[in-house]
Each structure stands twice: as C-alpha cells, then as structure tokens.
Amino acid sequence: MALATETKFTLKDYKAADPRWCTGCGDYGILVALRRFMADKQLNPASVVNISGIGCSGRIPHYMNTYGIHSIHGRAIPVAMGISLARPDLQLFIESGDGDALSIGGNHLIHGINKNFNCVFVMMDNQIYGLTKNQTSPTTRQGLATNTQPQGSWLKPINPVQFAMGLGASFVASTAEWLTSHIVEVIEAAYAHKGFSFVHVAQRCPKFNPTAWEAKESNWYSFLQHEKGVKADTKYGPDAAIIEHDPSDLGQAFKYAMMDHKHFGVYYQDTSKACYDDIVRSATDKAVKQPRSGLLDRFKI
C-alpha cells in the first residue's frame, strides 16, 4: 500500500461524481471547501477516507475522489473509529447532518468526543431534516412549522457548539459554508489538531428551511479570531464583529458557546487530551510479542 507522494494534486483530483443537491444548497460550499483544503494541504486522495451517515449531508463521500463510506444513519462515527484504530496512516473526515449527529447519532457523538480519536468531524447544520423532507431536527428553531411539528417546532434547539463543549471536546469550531475562506481555514485548523475535531458548519437549505441562516447579512454574528485559531472573514462577513479569543480559554469558550449571538471561529482547543486510538494502539505496540506457534501451550494438561 505505497502512497504516492510526489504528485501535485489539483482541485480536480478530489472531484468524483456530480452532486445531486438542490440548487442553492449550502452543501456545495462545504464540498468545495473540503476539496480546496485537501488541495491546499496536498492530501493524497488515496489515503483520505470520508465517512458519512445518511442525509443530504451524507452524500459528500460520493462526490470526493477519495476513499469513502456512505454508511447508515447516525453511525458514521463507529465506522470511523474502527478505521482509526486499524489504520493510523489514513486521514479521516466524517460528514454528518444535524439530525444524523444529534438525533439518532447522539450517543456515538458523545463517545467519539470522549474517546477523542483522531478525525475531523464536520456537522452540516441546516437545522432541518433535508433528505426526508422537512421534519424537525434537534437544531430546528423553536416555532418553525415542519412536517412533524406543523404547529411550530416544540422545543428550544440544541446548540451544537455548547453540546460539544459540554461533553469535553478537545477541539470545537464553528463556521459557515458561505464564508468561503473561513471554512477552509477552520477545516485546516481542525485537521492540524490531533484528536476529535468538532467542526460545526452553518448550512443553508433553501428547499426546506430558507429562513435558517441569513447569509446575505453579517451583523448577526461575530468572528472569534486568534493567532492560535483562525482569522475573521471580512470579505464575506463585513459587518460581523471581530473578537480576539484564545482557544485555550475554556471558561470564555463556554461563554461564547452559550450566548444566543452566534460566533464563528475556533472556540476551544485542548492539545493535551489523550487520544483513545493512540492508547489502544500503543498498548498493542508495546506488548511483548509472542510467537503464535506457542499460542496453545498454556492449555496443555
């Protein structure tokens, strides 16, 4: 399994099939950002694995000319966990939707974050179930009429950033698909982080949730900027406030996470948190090896 390293990969090298999303869908922006990031970093497509669940979001792997598993609803993390233990030489990207990640897949997200295995987890948040046509998701705005809660969604939405912080994620960032360079930088920072890098991406779904993210305005959000984090995106977010925020400041990160006002940037990073995949693998690496020829000797009567 030799990996070619000399080639120069271009954007085109990361492109597989043509996407089948609706016109104007924010997923296109995320797809392009992933490709751009990979080209920037010259990742070898043959050593990248994209793993997804089910949803409009779950289609990303099909469109990336890398290895990929379009798995089952809510369960991309377990699949990725297995790959990460088996093959530390691969680069893992998980793509998940708000329903996929926080509704059916919540438990795996808890344990992915807790085990802190090395991967970039991209949560594509359109605040709705897209693929199944307009049902309330855990992030749906309270009051929004959907097919399952036509009287207006019942509950206050779960805040994904707060959720990840509360579970002790070692890397938490948020960005938006329309912030074309910010999103690439955030993915870059997430990739550079060793551990489970939780990346929340605000994503528009013009089909079912057109009022969810107001990409044309930028006064409703702020950027968290830092030399250890990422820069503000003044081009696409000209009216957003810029806040200097050190991602190692847990308390402050929590505060931004819990605010109603939205912040894009790197909230938190803890480089000291142990990675489960490392621990398990190194226990095996360090174990004094025995030849299989003697495997049954101790059962001799």
Ligand X SMILES: Cc1ncc(C[n+]2csc(CCOP(=O)(O)OP(=O)(O)O)c2C)c(N)n1
Written as six digits, the tokens of 271 are 């480089």
Kindly state the tokens that stand for 104. 């059916």
Closer residue to ligand X (CB): 56 or 169:
56
CA–centroid distance for 3 within its chain: 25
Question: Please, what is the minimum distance in Å from the beta carbon of residue 118 to Mg ion?
Answer: 25
Q: Mention every residue, 6+ apart, whose C-beta is less than 8 A from residue 105.
A: 53, 73, 74, 75, 76, 77, 96
The Cα 27–Cα 193 span in angstroms is 24
Crossing angle of helices 76-86 and 106-115, rounded to 10°? 30
- The CB density around residue 130, as the number of other CB atoms within 10 Å, is 27
Single out the residue of 191, 208, 221, 256 in contact with ligand SF4 (rule: CB under 6 A).
208
Q: What are phi and psi of 282, to 5 degrees?
A: -75, -30
**Which span sits near ligand SF4 by CB under 6 A: 36-44, 205-213, 261-269, 279-287?**
205-213
Select from 140, 142, 91 the least CA-distant residue to 117. 91
CB of 122 to another protein, least distance (A): 16
Minimum CB distance to Mg ion, residue 200 (Å): 12
Residue 118, interface with ligand SF4 (CB under 6 A)? Answer: no
Which entry of its own copies, ligand X, ligand SF4, none binds 25, CB below 5 to 8 A by partner kind? ligand SF4
Q: Which residues bind its own copies (CB under 8 A)?
A: 103-107, 110-111, 114-115, 138, 151, 154-156, 158, 162-163, 165-167, 254, 274, 276, 279-280, 283
Among residues 23 and 272, whose Cβ is nearest to another protein? 23
Amino acid at the residue 259: M
Asked if 153 interacts with ligand SF4 (CB under 6 A), we say: no
Stretch that binds ligand SF4, among 22-30, 103-111, 154-162, 240-248 (CB under 6 A): 22-30
In DSSP terms, 205 is beta-bridged to 209
Residue in the block written with tokens 């309270």: 142
Min dist. Cβ of residue 33 to another protein (A): 19
Please provide residue 212's backbone torsions phi and psi, each rounded to the nearest 5 degrees: -70, -50
Q: Which of 50, 91, 126, 140 binds ligand SF4 (CB under 6 A)?
A: 126
Q: Is the dihedral of CA 148, 149, 153, 157 positive or negative?
A: negative
CB of 222 vs another protein, minimal distance in Å = 31
* Min dist. Cβ of residue 62 to ligand SF4 (A): 13
Choice between 95 and 278, CB closer to Mg ion:
95
